[in-house]
């Protein structure tokens, strides 16, 4: 199968090969909105750390440029190519997760060892595993459709592969990213025909493992304490949760105004990363914050339509997996900021600062857009 799209790869009833332009426009608007938001959220921290109010924005522009390149490549390469090389995607996923343990490459961020330094650039390999693992999993599930209800053919090998990925991510540790990969994997497993009781069993095992992890890791336990009681320790373990809630609440309906955030002045940790939604809410208010959530839902809706109209099982499973990943990560980020779920520190797709994050999100969007070129019009 050729790498680049060929009109003969899949037959379409109407003979058209146009991608979903609405999906493309939504991704573009969200990325532009994220850049404008980051410009405001990063001004104070950029000046304090680097003496340049636009330092972070300049770096984000580099990430967006690379992200656009990744998008164009992913949009051009026939998604069937990834199916043919699915086994390499699994090997690639494992190698990416092992890179963070190599001396000289590994870089710590806080207590986590989730980053590597390459030629002076910091990359987070787990961001790219979200794509590569789904590329493999979609092909594996399509091949075993009809056999997934069998324990030996379905749930057991699925658990083994997931267990390897989970083990490497827990070692880093990166529980937030693991939860996103796990949730999107369960969704595609269900869509492909997995038994509901098998999925319930996996969720039960995951809950038991999480409970065990909470007994070992004090900082993980504290996140649940802050969820249940944000006033538990407002000056230490629950500080970020409280400052995020203050930022969201002080925005009111219409916000303080773009650039007028107070929390970004060294009050709220990570105002350009996982806490950027709090700054957006503070500056633009409830109306624009809800509009941002609706934009994510619109992207999910378009991605869902693209996926269910794909001409083969692989396209359906892969499209739904990538679309689910984007919406789940957005929910996990925003849910943590407004204290609906424990704060996990994952970036807001297309919006948060970070080259790895924006490139991974753009890559996923590019693959979904490529699937839309073969999908039957709704």
DSSP state of 13: T
Q: Count CB atoms within 10 A of the CB of residue 88.
A: 13
pLDDT of residue 38: 92
**What ranges do the domains of the chain cover?**
21-372
pTM of the predicted model, to two decimals?
0.88
Examine the pLDDT at 52 and tell me if it is beyond 90.
no
DSSP 8-state secondary structure symbol assigned to residue 151? I
pLDDT category of residue 259 using cuts at 50, 70 and 90 = confident
Tell me the per-residue pLDDT of 107-152, one tens digit each, with 9 for 90 and over.
Answer: 666 556 777 877 667 788 888 999 999 999 999 998 887 777 777 7
Cis bond before residue 173 (omega within 30° of 0) = yes
**Residue 334: both structure tokens together:** 């925003």
**How would you list the strands of the sheet with 112-118, edge to edge?**
106-109, 112-118, 121-123
Handedness of CA 270, 273, 278, 284 (dihedral sign): positive
| Contact (Cβ atoms closer than 8 angstroms) between residue 65 and residue 361 | no
DSSP labels, 237-277: TTHHHHHHHHHHHHTTTT-S-TT--STTTTTSSSTTTTTHH
User: For 154, which DSSP code?
Assistant: I
Residue 4 has pLDDT above 50, yes or no: no
Q: Could you tell me the CA-to-CA distances from 71 to 31, 254, 368 in Å, in that order? A: 12, 34, 10
What pLDDT, on the 0 to 100 scale, is given for residue 236?
Answer: 81
DSSP character at residue 377: P
Length of the chain: 378
**pLDDT in the model for residue 378:** 52
How high is the pLDDT of residue 151?
74
pLDDT at 10 over 90: no
DSSP H stretches of helix in the chain: 21-41, 43-50, 55-76, 79-84, 86-99, 125-143, 156-171, 175-191, 196-216, 218-228, 239-250, 276-308, 313-337, 355-372
Residue 16 has pLDDT above 50, yes or no: no
pLDDT of residue 109: 61
Q: Is the pLDDT of residue 230 over 90?
A: no
- CB-based contact 355:121 (threshold 8 Å): yes
pLDDT of 377: 61
Q: Which residue reads 């091949």 in tokens?
A: 143
- In the predicted model, what is the mean pLDDT of residues 209-233? 77
- 204: its two tokens: 């039960």
For 158-181, how does the pLDDT look when each residue is reduced to its tens digit (9 = 90+)? Answer: 888 888 898 888 888 788 888 899
Q: Is the pLDDT of residue 1 over 90?
A: no
What residues pair up with 118 in beta bridges, in sequence order? Answer: 121
What are φ and ψ of residue 109, in 5° steps?
-130, 100
Q: Are 323 and 366 in contact (CB under 8 A)?
A: no
Task: Give per-residue pLDDT as tens, 295-348.
Answer: 999 999 999 999 999 988 999 999 999 999 999 999 999 999 999 888 887 899
pLDDT of residue 43: 87
What integer pLDDT is reported at residue 316 of this predicted model?
Answer: 93
Whether the pLDDT of residue 6 is over 50: the answer is: no
Q: Token digits for 265?
A: 């002045």
Rg (CA), the chain: 21
CA atoms of 288 and 294, how far apart (whole Å): 10
Residue 155 pLDDT level (bands cut at 50, 70, 90) = confident
Q: Provide mean pLDDT across the span 24-29.
A: 95
Question: CA-to-CA distance for 41 and 329, rounded, in angstroms?
Answer: 20
Mean per-residue pLDDT over the chain, rounded: 85
The percentage of residues in the chain with a pLDDT greater than 90, rounded to a whole number, is 39
pLDDT(11) > 80: no
Q: Round to whole Å and give the CA distance between 171 and 111.
A: 11
Q: What is the pLDDT, as a whole number, of residue 99? A: 86
């Amino acid at each position: 199968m050729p790498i680049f799209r060929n009109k003969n790869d899949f037959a379409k009833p109407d003979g058209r090969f146009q991608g979903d332009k609405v999906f493309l426009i939504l991704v573009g608007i969200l990325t532009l909105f994220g850049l404008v938001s980051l410009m405001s959220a990063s001004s104070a921290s950029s000046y304090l750390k680097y003496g340049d109010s636009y330092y972070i924005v300049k770096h984000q522009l580099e990430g967006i440029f690379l992200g656009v390149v990744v998008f164009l490549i992913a949009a051009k390469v026939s998604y069937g190519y990834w199916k043919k090389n699915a086994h390499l995607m699994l090997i690639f996923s494992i190698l990416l997760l092992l890179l963070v343990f190599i001396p000289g490459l590994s870089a710590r961020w806080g207590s986590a060892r989730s980053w590597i330094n390459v030629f002076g650039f910091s990359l987070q390999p787990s961001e790219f595993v979200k794509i590569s693992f789904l590329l493999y999993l979609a092909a594996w599930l399509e091949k075993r459709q009809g056999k997934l209800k069998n324990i030996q053919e379905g749930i057991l090998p699925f658990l083994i592969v997931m267990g390897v990925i989970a083990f490497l991510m827990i070692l880093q540790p990166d529980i937030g990213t693991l939860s996103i990969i796990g949730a999107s994997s369960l969704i595609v497993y269900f869509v492909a025909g997995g038994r509901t009781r098998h999925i319930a069993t996996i969720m039960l095992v995951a809950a038991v493992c999480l409970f065990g992890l909470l007994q070992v890791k004090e900082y993980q336990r504290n996140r649940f304490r802050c969820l249940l009681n944000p006033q538990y320790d407002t000056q230490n373990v629950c500080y970020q949760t409280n400052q995020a809630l203050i930022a969201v609440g002080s925005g009111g309906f219409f916000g303080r105004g773009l650039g007028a955030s107070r929390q970004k002045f060294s009050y709220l940790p990570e105002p350009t990363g996982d806490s950027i939604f709090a700054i957006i809410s503070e500056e633009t208010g409830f109306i624009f914050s809800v509009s941002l959530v609706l934009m994510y839902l619109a992207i999910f809706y378009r991605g869902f339509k693209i996926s269910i109209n794909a001409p083969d099982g692989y396209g359906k499973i892969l499209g739904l997996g990538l679309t689910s990943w984007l919406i789940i990560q957005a929910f996990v980020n925003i849910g943590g900021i407004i204290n609906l779920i424990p704060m996990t520190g994952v970036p807001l797709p297309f919006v948060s600062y970070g080259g790895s994050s924006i490139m991974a999100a753009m890559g996923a969007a590019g693959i979904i857009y490529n699937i839309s070129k073969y999908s039957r019009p709704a």
